[in-house]
Amino acid sequence: MDLIPLPHRMERAGGFFELGDGFGIEAGPGTEGTARWLRATLGAATGLALPPKKGDEYDVLHLSVRPGLDAEEYRLVVAPHGVHVQGGSSAGVFWGAQTMLQLLGPDAFRRAPLPGRTWRLPLTEIRDSPRFRWRGVMLDVARHFMPKDGVLRYLDLLAAHKLNVFHFHLTDDQGWRVEIRKYPRLTEVGSWRARTKFGHRASPLWEEKPHGGHYTQDDIREIVAYAAERHITVVPEIDVPGHSQAAIAAYPELGNTDVVDTTALSVWDTWGINPNVLAPTDNTLRFYEGVFEEVLELFPSEFIHVGGDECPKDQWRQSPTAQERIRELGLKDEDELQAWFIGHFDSWLTARGRRLIGWDEILEGGLAKGAAVSSWRGYAGGVAAARAGHDVVMCPEQQVYLDHRQDAGADEPVPIGFVRTLEDVYRFEPVPAELTPDEARHVLGTQANLWTEVMEDRARVDYQAFPRLAAFAEVAWSGLPAPAERDFAGFERRLAAHYGRLDAMGVAYRPPTGPRPWQRRPGVPGRPIDGPPPNR
């Protein structure tokens, strides 16, 4: 049973249960969504109608919520006369159904039945539950826009790997991707750039055509609802106060107008850290409150991500308006000014029953008590945040930034950063060893990040994400031993079967033998970094 992620406990008996034409579903209270999902997915793959059935009939899949199990815990029993999936909540039932789908074989992930195919499940009992409550993937759609159908497809891929948080990076210097009705120019102007750098920012290559797009509010509602059916929480990111040139291009008054001519700015067409940041004015605060009011209507998530990373302070140092604000607030320096800016939105979100989360730079200058941290610059930010009593999501760049290259070979397309092999990701440990048990309880979980500067379409995203995302999913879900003791050879054996599932789902993953000819990008320069990444 080549399951990914690896279940906590499996007991295999001899024999199989075969799904016949009369196979149906008994959906107990709280499991109706899983039954609906199975009829749409498993029904499409098998051609079975999966009608409602009663518990006293044969050939039944029994779905039920059982008290006594943790919320995401499930128990899957395949017996000679039927199948039982029990969960501590509707989410647990759904994860159990995902495991059942894997047991049926790769063709269960297709969208139409293959002729002559029979369907059977091995007689078995599986008990399983996740290690972390936050098992996330960040997708950057600001650098390269992914149309809505691609986002929905990625939610299916996350669900198939029992990942449950979709961090949706919606705004940056290179594009604003969510409709805000109060401020229409954010998408009318801010969602399109005139051209795009092809490769690393030092590359001489350009794609000389406009690039962009955005999601309407109804698109967002559809994405959020689609995710919820799969027990995935969508956490939106609206970047402040840096990474904001697209917003400033649309509304120049948001920038530091006393330092630069913001009316001359356009949506940025290259990569890197941009000096054009938001002005720390009341007008900017009121503007983004208007943005977040609409964001809160669209996204019911507990957490709202505000970015907070890579905010150069040069314009603030030169700005009389910013310097006056520092004096007026009695702040020490520009770092504390950023902390004040982030703190304003922390209080604003808290008053509305939400929680702020941001990249670990928000620790600089002090951090409001209720805020959480995405630790990306290694482990240090997460350690500092946990010790200060803040919740943490561990996503260190050197370990789980999947835009980093996966091999040192010359054919690796647009090689960025350190080599992070499949085995490196499998041996990633999210909880720093130096944390005490009380401090470690602040680690909500972990997240892999997909930044798309050099990923121009979904095939490139697939290549960078898979199969490493399968390894990451096992790290996030399964109670694996210490990194050096993990059975990577066993994972590779299970992955050999998992490639068939990825093939059935149409995933353009990196083969273990290296990139296929059409996956290479000859002549497109990247920025490889040699040697092992710092482990700090």
**Catalytic site residue 243?**
yes
Q: Report yes or no: 279 and 219 within 8 Å, Cβ to Cβ.
A: no
d(CA 527, CA 203): 9
Say if CB 192 and CB 211 are below 8 A apart. yes
Catalytic residue among 211, 243, 390, 442: 243
The Cα-based distances of 178 to 82, 278, 328 in angstroms read 46, 19, 34
Largest Cα separation within the chain, whole Å, is: 78
Choice among 70, 107, 222, 310 that is catalytic = 310
Is there a catalytic annotation at residue 364? no
Annotated active-site residue 310? The verdict is yes
Provide the residue type at 272 as one letter.
Answer: G
Neighbours of 148 (CB within 10 A): 16
- In 3-state terms, what secondary structure has residue 303? strand
Is residue 294 within 8 A of residue 344, CB to CB? The reply is: no
Dihedral-angle region of residue 76 (phi above 0 means left; psi in -120 to 50 means alpha; beta otherwise): beta
CB of 273 within 8 A of CB of 244?
Answer: no
d(CA 14, CA 119): 16
> What does 56-105 look like in DSSP terms, one character per residue?
TSSSEEEEEE-TTS-TT-EEEEEETTEEEEEESSHHHHHHHHHHHHHHT-
Q: Which residues contact 363 (CB under 8 A, 6 or more apart)?
A: 373, 381, 384, 385, 388
The token pair at 465 is 């994400």
- Among 515, 502, 419, smallest CA distance to 460 is for 515
Which of 504-518 are b and which e, b meaning 16 or more Cβ less than 10 Å from the residue's Cβ? bbebbbbeeeebeee
Indicate the residue type of 36.
R
DSSP 105-134: -GGGGSSSPPTT---EEEEEEEEE--S-SE
**Side chain identity, residue 207:** E
Q: Which of 128, 172, 424, 474 is catalytic?
A: 172
Long-range contact set of residues 403-411: C-beta below 8 Å, sequence gap at least 24 = 403/449, 403/450, 403/451, 403/452, 403/453, 403/454, 403/455, 403/464, 405/526, 405/528, 406/464, 406/468, 406/510, 407/514, 408/528, 409/514, 411/514, 411/515, 411/520
Tell me, what amino acid is at 364? E
Q: Provide the 10 A C-beta neighbour count for residue 74.
A: 28
Question: Cis ω on the peptide bond leading into residue 5 (within 30° of 0)?
Answer: yes
The set of catalytic residues is: 172, 243, 310
